[in-house]
């Protein structure tokens, strides 16, 4: 009931979206900070959209979970009450199951390999796959690699995770991975995580360096282990209700604006990743660079479990064969 009432409240909050004096206003909600590369790239997207459309289309951005969590924003898109959002591929897999392939640990060889997959035929097919769930993928932002950070106990090897409650995304794949590594996975929304860490509800979490820094989780967690278990991209999603009411020209303007923002976000991300790691280290966080093969070996059996899911396993093989 609480979740239902929350969703109704969000619907009322964004119900004003639409056309104003022949100007199409597109409302985009996301959960990240104003200083995050994702938000900065969205600002660029908005400027590009306004420029390309000659002022006929405007992007209104609502950051920091103003319109709800990632899951709630996706639900608003599905009923046509919100136009666009950005979510982690880990959250998206609950709505478009094939996106779960990105949650497979140690799937990509390196960052360039991930870009080759995302920008190539595999990534484009997965963006289209969400349309049957009223969610149209428009592009992928870089979200780097996810790693563990903890409050009291440093993580040097998988066995150090035993007995620790680790916050994960609302993702079956993420839960299975932390279980395989010996931790106790605990799904908690991003907005509640700082308090949960401070109060000891969880002992740690896992995320990329910019998110670790901008969330100020480094104030609570003084150990950051760069084991880089998953490369989960962020996905820009439009409601099919929005897409279908746009003309072909308007769709072209929007997609072009997205494409420009993707290029810029990836540049901003690289800069932020380096700066943010240096900042948390200066703030007293111990940066641990473990032997990643220990973690990779620990989840090897988990990869075999995907054989039961023929679609995901086939995608895994296609990704691994991408040069």
* pLDDT score recorded for residue 10: 52
Q: Is residue 21 part of a domain?
A: yes
- From residue 42, alpha-carbon distances to 5, 132, 262, 263, 322 in Å are 29, 25, 9, 11, 29
Q: Is residue 2 part of a domain?
A: no
Assess whether 57 and 172 both reside in one domain: no
Assess whether 64 and 131 both reside in one domain: yes
CA distance 78 to 80: 5
Tell me which residue of 267, 99, 66, 74 sits closest to 171, measured CA to CA.
Answer: 99
Q: How many domains does the chain have?
A: 2
29 alpha carbon, distance to own chain's centre: 13
- From residue 215, alpha-carbon distances to 79, 209, 220, 223 in Å are 30, 10, 11, 15
Length of the chain: 323
Which structural domain, as residue segments, surrounds residue 162? 146-230+275-320
Output the tens digit of pLDDT for each of the chain's 323 residues: 445 445 445 554 554 445 556 899 999 999 998 999 999 999 999 999 999 999 999 999 999 999 999 999 999 999 999 999 999 998 999 999 999 999 999 999 999 999 999 999 999 999 999 999 999 999 999 999 999 999 999 999 999 999 999 999 888 889 999 999 999 999 998 889 999 999 999 999 999 999 999 999 999 999 999 999 999 999 999 999 999 999 999 999 999 999 999 999 999 999 999 999 999 999 999 999 999 999 999 999 888 888 888 999 999 999 999 98
Q: Is residue 218 part of a domain?
A: yes
Assess whether 36 and 111 both reside in one domain: yes
Assess whether 190 and 238 both reside in one domain: no
CA distance 53 to 24: 10
What HEC string does 228-248 produce?
EEECCCEEEEEEHHHHHHCCH
* pLDDT score recorded for residue 172: 87
* pLDDT score recorded for residue 1: 45
* pLDDT score recorded for residue 272: 95
CA distance 292 to 158: 10
Assess whether 182 and 287 both reside in one domain: yes
Q: Are strands 286-288 and 223-230 parallel, antiparallel or unpaired?
A: parallel
Assess whether 114 and 80 both reside in one domain: yes
The CATH number of the domain where 268 resides is what? 3.40.190.170
Assess whether 57 and 202 both reside in one domain: no
Q: Is residue 1 part of a domain?
A: no
Assess whether 61 and 137 both reside in one domain: yes
């Amino acid at each position: 009931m609480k979740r239902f009432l929350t969703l109704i409240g969000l619907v009322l909050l964004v119900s004003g979206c639409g056309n104003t004096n022949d100007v199409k206003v597109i409302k985009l909600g996301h959960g990240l900070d104003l200083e995050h590369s994702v938000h900065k790239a969205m600002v660029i997207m908005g400027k590009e959209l306004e420029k390309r459309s000659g002022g006929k289309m405007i992007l209104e951005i609502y950051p920091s979970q103003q319109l709800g969590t990632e899951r709630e924003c996706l639900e608003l898109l599905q009923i046509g009450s919100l136009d666009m959002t950005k979510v982690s591929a880990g959250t998206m897999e609950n709505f478009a199951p094939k996106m779960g392939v990105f949650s497979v640990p140690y799937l990509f060889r390196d960052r360039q390999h991930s870009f080759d997959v995302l920008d190539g035929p595999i990534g484009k097919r997965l963006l289209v796959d969400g349309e049957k769930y009223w969610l149209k993928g428009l592009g992928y932002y870089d979200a780097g690699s996810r790693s563990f950070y903890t409050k009291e106990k440093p993580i040097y090897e998988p066995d150090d995770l035993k007995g620790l409650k680790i916050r994960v995304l609302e993702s079956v794949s993420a839960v299975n991975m932390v279980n395989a590594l010996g931790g106790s996975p605990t799904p908690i929304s991003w907005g509640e995580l700082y308090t949960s860490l401070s109060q000891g509800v969880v002992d740690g979490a896992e995320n990329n360096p910019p998110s670790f820094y901008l969330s100020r989780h480094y104030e609570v967690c003084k150990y950051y282990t760069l084991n880089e278990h998953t490369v989960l991209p962020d996905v820009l999603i439009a409601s099919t209700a929005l897409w279908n009411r746009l003309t072909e020209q308007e769709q072209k303007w929007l997609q072009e604006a997205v494409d420009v923002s993707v290029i810029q976000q990836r540049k901003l991300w690289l800069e932020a990743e380096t700066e943010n790691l240096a900042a948390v280290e200066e703030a007293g966080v111990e940066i641990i660079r473990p032997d990643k093969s220990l973690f990779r070996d620990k989840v090897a059996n988990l990869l075999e479990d995907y054989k039961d899911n023929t679609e995901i396993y086939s995608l895994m093989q296609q990704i691994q064969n991408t040069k």
